[in-house]
A = this chain, B = another copy of it.
Amino acid sequence: MPNRLAYLGPAGTHTEQACITYDGGAACIPFATIPLVAAAVDMGRADEGMVPIENSVGGSVSATLDLLIHDSTLFIRRELVLPIKHFLLARRGADISEIKVIFSHPQALEQCRVYLAEHFAQAEAVASMSTAAAVEEMLKRGGEAAAIGTERAGVLYDTDILARGIEDRPNNMTRFVVLAPKDSPRTGEDKTSICFSFDEDAPGILHSVLDEFARRGINLTKIESRPTREELGRYIFLVDLEGHREDTLLSEALEGVRAQVSLLKVFGSYPRHSDSR
Q: Is A183 an interface residue (CB 8 A)?
A: no
With A106-B106, A129-B106, A207-B210: A57-B234 Cβ-Cβ less than 8 Å: no
Number of copies: 2
- Contacting residues, chain B, for A231 (C-beta < 8 A): 56, 171, 277
With A106-B106, A129-B125: A218-B233 Cβ-Cβ less than 8 Å: no
Alpha-carbon distance between A222 and B207 when the two chains are bound, in angstroms:
13
| Chain B nearest CB, measured from A195 CB (Å) | 13
- Contacting residues, chain B, for A220 (C-beta < 8 A): 201, 203, 206
- Contacting residues, chain B, for A237 (C-beta < 8 A): 223
User: Is B207 touching A233 in the complex (CB atoms < 8 A)?
Assistant: no
User: A194-219 interface mask toward B, CB cutoff 8 Å, 1 = contact, 0 = none?
Assistant: 00000001111011101101100111
User: Is B203 touching A219 in the complex (CB atoms < 8 A)?
Assistant: yes
Q: Is A62 an interface residue (CB 8 A)?
A: yes
Q: Is A127 an interface residue (CB 8 A)?
A: yes
User: Is B232 touching A56 in the complex (CB atoms < 8 A)?
Assistant: yes
User: Is B217 touching A173 in the complex (CB atoms < 8 A)?
Assistant: no
Minimal Cβ-Cβ distance residue in B for A109 = B129
Q: Which of A208-257 contact B (CB under 8 A)?
A: 208, 210-211, 213-214, 217-227, 229-235, 237
Q: Is A128 an interface residue (CB 8 A)?
A: yes
User: Is B232 touching A219 in the complex (CB atoms < 8 A)?
Assistant: no
Tell me what chain A mostly uses at the interface: helix, strand, loop, or mixed: mixed
With A207-B210, A214-B203, A225-B223: A232-B127 Cβ-Cβ less than 8 Å: no
User: Is B203 touching A213 in the complex (CB atoms < 8 A)?
Assistant: yes
A sample of 29 inter-chain contacts (CB < 8 A) reads A54-B227, A55-B227, A56-B231, A56-B232, A57-B227, A58-B227, A59-B227, A63-B110, A106-B129, A126-B129, A127-B127, A127-B129, A171-B230, A201-B220, A201-B277, A202-B219, A203-B214, A203-B217, A203-B218, A203-B219, A206-B223, A207-B210, A207-B211, A221-B233, A222-B225, A222-B233, A222-B235, A223-B235, A224-B225
- Nearest 3 CB-CB pairs, A to B? A233-B277, A207-B214, A127-B127
Q: Which residues of A contact B (CB under 8 A)?
A: 54-59, 62-63, 81, 105-106, 110, 125-129, 169, 171, 173, 175, 201-204, 206-208, 210-211, 213-214, 217-227, 229-235, 237, 276-277
Known A-B contacts: A59-B227, A224-B224. Give 13 more (CB < 8 A): A55-B227, A57-B227, A171-B230, A201-B220, A201-B221, A202-B219, A203-B213, A203-B220, A207-B207, A207-B213, A207-B214, A208-B214, A223-B225
